[in-house]
Amino acid sequence: MSSDVFAVEPDARPLILVVEDNPANSRLICEMLRAGGYRVHVAADGLQGLDRARGLRPALILTDLQMPGLDGLTLTQTLKSDPATAQVPVLAVTAHAMADHRASALAAGCAGFVTKPIRFQPFLAEIADVLRLTDACRA
C-alpha cells in the first residue's frame, strides 16, 4: 500500500491577516474567516500588522481603522507605498458607516470597506470578491 495517501497536502487555503486591537472583535472576525475556509493570522495593532504583512505576505488584510499607535489608514498607506506589499488587497473594518470614512479608506488605498456589526454571508462574499479581483489582476 502506498504511503502517498498519508502525505500532507500543502495548505491551499488563502491566509488572511486580521489587524484589530479589540480582542472580542478579532475573535469574532477570525471565527467567521475560519468558518469560511481561510487561514487567519492576528495582529493586535497597526505596527504589528505592518510587520506581519511584510513577513507573511497574506492574500488579504483586514484592518480596523481606529487603533493605538499606527491607525488603519496609515497602515494601509504604508503598505501601498511599498512595492513589496502594494499588491496585497486591504479591506477596512470599522464601526463607522459614514461616507467620509469610506472615502478616506478608499483614498488610503483600501480595496473596500466592511462595516461593523459584521454579517457572516456578505462579509465572506466581499472577501471572495476582492480575492477574485486580485487574482484576475495578477493573471
Q: What's the closest the beta carbon of residue 19 comes to Mn ion, in angstroms?
A: 9
Using rule CB under 5 A, residue 64 touches Mn ion: yes
Using rule CB under 5 A, residue 66 touches Mn ion: yes
Q: What is the 3-state secondary structure (H, E, C) of the chain?
A: CCHHHHCCCCCCCCEEEEECCCHHHHHHHHHHHHHCCCEEEEECCHHHHHHHHHHHCCCEEEEECCCCCCCHHHHHHHHHCCCCCCCCCEEEEECCCCHHHHHHHHHCCCCEEEECCCCHHHHHHHHHHHHHHHHHHHC
Q: How many residues bind Mn ion (CB under 5 A)?
A: 4
Q: What's the closest the beta carbon of residue 67 comes to Mn ion, in angstroms?
A: 5
**Residues of this chain, 77-116, that bind Mn ion according to CB under 5 A:** none
Binding region for Mn ion (CB under 5 A) out of 18-26, 68-76, 91-99, 125-133: 18-26
Binding region for Mn ion (CB under 5 A) out of 61-69, 70-78, 111-119, 125-133: 61-69
Q: What's the closest the beta carbon of residue 28 comes to Mn ion, in angstroms?
A: 13
- Residues in contact with Mn ion by CB under 5 A are 21, 64, 66-67
